[in-house]
């Protein structure tokens, strides 16, 4: 349950505060959200401006959030504010007033999200977490519990099952199967044998953009997957973080638009 006043109000507990000071040196990677735009941030310095995200913590993800100063040229006010969903109070289902965008007049400033356990939080993680929260909220609506979040949905186990399901289908859905590696470290689930993958971001630049087939040979400890590439490359052990779908959803959308002259989804 929600332990103590500090958790309920969303302010940092003393323990988390000390931890956050210690973690300042770590500067883990996080995510910046501006309206509906999401991007990865290299190093996030955790300070007292961050507060706990109660929903994420119920799901076993120790997330912190911080509002940033709005700069000129930020996201327009009418942008859907994805962060408001995330900051909902688990009991009422509604975000506190300072986390609501208040219609077209007042948009939320950009928000930084970071984990306080020194693990990276990525755009891939965010996408899965947001999908989960949306589906749970939709379910609450279906049962006419407007705003009341289904408690059985807000457990680490329920979220882990969702991550497993999403990641086992990620490559089929043209997405990188890399979200929440800490919760579901199973590489075989994410990169099934025979799946086609494309390498990227490797220092061996001639491999970037090359498509190969997963052959197994999973190295869980090092987070590597055995992939057979066409000659001259052959069978190599590649870090999971450097493997994605043969064709990403974005690439597929662009190709469809070019071939058929329509835009399917977010091109």
If asked whether residues 136 and 223 sit together in one domain, one would say no
If asked whether residues 140 and 201 sit together in one domain, one would say no
Give every CB contact of residue 204 below 8 A, 6+ residues apart in sequence: none
Which residue in 46, 111, 123, 53 sits closest to 81, CA to CA?
111
If asked whether residues 97 and 219 sit together in one domain, one would say no
If asked whether residues 86 and 190 sit together in one domain, one would say no
In a domain, 252, yes or no: no
Most distant pair of Cα atoms in the chain: their distance: 61
In a domain, 168, yes or no: no
* H-run or E-run covering 211: strand 211-219
Which of 32-36, 154-158, 179-183, 245-249 is the least confident region? 32-36
Specify the higher pLDDT residue, 4 or 263.
263
If asked whether residues 150 and 209 sit together in one domain, one would say no
CB-CB neighbours of 15 under 10 Å: 9
Q: What is the CATH number of the domain that holds 225?
A: 2.30.30.30
In a domain, 163, yes or no: no
- Which residue bears the tokens 């770590």? 26
If asked whether residues 144 and 14 sit together in one domain, one would say yes
Domain boundary among 105, 134, 154: 154
pLDDT over threshold 50, residue 128: yes
Specify the higher pLDDT residue, 70 or 167.
167
pLDDT band at 218 (very low <50, low <70, confident <90, very high): very high
pLDDT, mean of residues 207-215 = 97
Domain span at residue 126? 4-154
In a domain, 44, yes or no: yes
Which residue in 214, 208, 106, 91 sits closest to 145, CA to CA?
91
In a domain, 95, yes or no: yes
In a domain, 172, yes or no: no
If asked whether residues 54 and 150 sit together in one domain, one would say yes
pLDDT over threshold 80, residue 6: no
If asked whether residues 42 and 107 sit together in one domain, one would say yes
Phi, psi torsion values for 5, nearest 5 degrees: -65, -40
| Confidence (pLDDT) at 132 | 92
If asked whether residues 142 and 203 sit together in one domain, one would say no
Which residue in 100, 14, 116 sits closest to 56, CA to CA?
116
Q: What is the mean pLDDT of the chain?
A: 81
In a domain, 41, yes or no: yes
Query: How many domains is the chain partitioned into structurally?
Result: 2
In a domain, 78, yes or no: yes
Say how many Å lie between the first and final Cα of the chain, rounded: 42
If asked whether residues 55 and 97 sit together in one domain, one would say yes
pLDDT over threshold 60, residue 80: no
| Confidence (pLDDT) at 250 | 83
Residue range 165-197, pLDDT digits in tens: 999 999 999 999 999 999 999 999 999 999 999
If asked whether residues 125 and 189 sit together in one domain, one would say no
If asked whether residues 31 and 135 sit together in one domain, one would say yes
- The pTM (predicted TM-score) of the whole model is 0.76
């Amino acid at each position: 349950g929600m332990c103590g006043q500090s958790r309920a109000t969303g302010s940092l507990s003393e323990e988390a505060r000390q931890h956050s000071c210690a973690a300042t040196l770590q500067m883990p990677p996080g995510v910046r959200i501006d309206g509906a735009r999401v991007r990865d941030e290299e190093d996030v310095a955790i300070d007292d401006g961050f507060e706990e995200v109660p929903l994420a913590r119920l799901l076993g993800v120790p997330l912190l959030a911080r509002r940033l100063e709005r700069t000129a040229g930020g996201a327009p006010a009418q942008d859907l504010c994805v962060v408001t969903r995330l900051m909902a109070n688990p009991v009422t289902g509604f975000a506190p007033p300072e986390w609501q965008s208040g219609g077209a007049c007042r948009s939320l400033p950009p928000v930084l999200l970071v984990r306080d356990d020194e693990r990276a939080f990525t755009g891939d993680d965010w996408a899965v977490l947001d999908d989960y929260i949306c589906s749970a909220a939709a379910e609450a609506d279906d049962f006419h519990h407007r705003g009341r979040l289904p408690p059985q949905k807000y457990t680490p186990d329920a979220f882990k099952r969702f991550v497993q399901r999403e990641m086992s289908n990620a490559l089929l859905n043209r997405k990188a199967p890399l979200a929440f590696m800490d919760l579901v470290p199973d590489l075989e689930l994410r990169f099934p044998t025979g799946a086609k993958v494309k390498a990227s971001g490797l220092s061996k630049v001639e491999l970037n953009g090359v498509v190969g087939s997963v052959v197994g040979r999973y190295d869980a400890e090092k987070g590597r997957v055995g992939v057979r590439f066409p000659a001259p490359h052959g069978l190599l052990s590649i870090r999971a973080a450097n493997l994605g779908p043969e064709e990403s959803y974005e690439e597929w959308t662009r190709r469809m638009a070019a071939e058929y002259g329509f835009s399917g989804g977010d091109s």
